[in-house]
Amino acid sequence: MSEKGAIRHKLTETIAEYMLKVKEGGGSINGMLRTGYVCDPRYRNHEVPPGHPERPERIGALLALMERYSRDELVKIEPRAAAIEEISANHDRRYIDQVRATADKPHIAFDPDTHAYSESYETALLSAGGFLSLIEHIMAGKVDNGFAMVRPPGHHAEADRAMGFCFFNNVAIGARYLRSRYELDRILIVDWDVHHGNGTQRSFYADKSVLYVSLHQYPHYPGTGDVGDVGVADGMGFTVNIPFPGGCGDDEYAAAFRRIVEPISRRFVPQFVLVSAGFDAHRRDPLSQMRLTREGFEAMTRSLVAVARDHYALEESVAGVLDELGGNDLGVELPHGGGAETVLDAVARVHKRFWKL
């Protein structure tokens, strides 16, 4: 495999978090939206056992990409460590202490997949804090949207449990930060990682201020994300799971966006859009059976940028996402989907009592 191909292959495995702010227009004179990004060599400090798929080399590949990648209105943002009070908005204090206790220890295994080494705790704080730094820049109007290339990842982490490579749930911490500091009450989280974000779902399962939409392979790790999981109490209807069988690709994801994601998102009228942007549904990822391409990730990003702008007049895969965050070609439609109609029919049947579909 060529160097370029190897880098792209690594990027398809990367679990990144990025967000799009709903705002009127962009701050750029030439009309291109200003995109902030977080990518820091310190994210390599979280070590993993040999052969582990969530490895420090991912950040090395992303740093190399950002040295080559060029686009107008691209702004690098320095990450900060999240404060304990920010982490505890989503995680139990006793659990945070358990993760903190791993600092300076040679190796602690929380489960067969999730390992902490001497610098894992500090790196996890920097991962969550990098996401919050990006939110702060967006809310201050310094950039229009952003892409946080951080590790360790977060969407499997539950309030009191590390799992699936994750310690602190970056996107959930970000959503709670938007609510507490900026008093937003309609936050959309779209999760297109191939694995269901069990931690994010549980964080907001009874909460109508956060609409959580997940597109994932099913059955697959961690075994959650059934169509019938829609939330409880005030949160009923605000969890939307689209559990695809293996083998789905651009067409099926396009159909899901057109039939489910876009209509529900527009009726929710989000004030802020957060995306758990895992690239492991890419056709070249060895740990899943999905068939997404760079064009598929571009199309999903384009769709969410359009959703974010609608309400206020408003690598293989990473470079494409950064291109689309620039806001160009928003009129290009997603391709028409083919398979997986049975799944989408089931999702529509379940959610038509909550949303007009």
* Per-residue pLDDT in tens (0 to 9) along the chain, 357 residues: 333 333 333 333 333 444 455 443 455 545 688 999 999 999 999 999 999 999 999 999 999 999 999 888 999 999 999 999 999 999 999 999 999 999 989 999 999 999 999 999 999 999 999 999 999 999 999 999 999 999 999 999 999 999 999 999 999 999 999 999 999 999 999 999 999 999 999 999 999 999 999 999 999 999 999 999 999 999 999 999 999 999 999 999 999 999 999 999 999 999 999 999 999 999 999 889 999 999 999 999 999 999 987 654 324 456 666 777 776 554 444 444 445 889 999 999 999 999 999
CATH number for 13: 3.40.800.20
Position 270 in a domain: yes
Q: From CA 102, how far away is CA 145, in angstroms rounded?
A: 34
Q: How many residues does the chain have?
A: 357
Position 356 in a domain: no
Position 269 in a domain: yes
Q: Given 156, 196, 220, 351, which residue is catalytic?
A: 156
Residue 202 three-state SS: helix
Position 112 in a domain: yes
- The domain tally of the chain equals 1
Q: 88, 214, 91, 108: which is closest to 161 by C-alpha?
A: 91
pLDDT recorded at residue 336: 47
**Peptide bond preceding 106 in cis form (omega within 30 of 0):** no
pLDDT recorded at residue 32: 83
At 253, the amino acid letter reads Y
15-21 and 272-278: which strand pairing?
Answer: antiparallel
Position 257 in a domain: yes
Q: 40: domain range?
A: 3-351
Position 357 in a domain: no
β-partners of residue 161 are: 158
pLDDT recorded at residue 318: 62
Q: Residue 195 catalytic?
A: no
With left for phi above 0 and alpha for psi between -120 and 50, is residue 340 left, alpha or beta? left
Position 320 in a domain: yes
Q: From CA 245, how far away is CA 340, in angstroms rounded?
A: 8
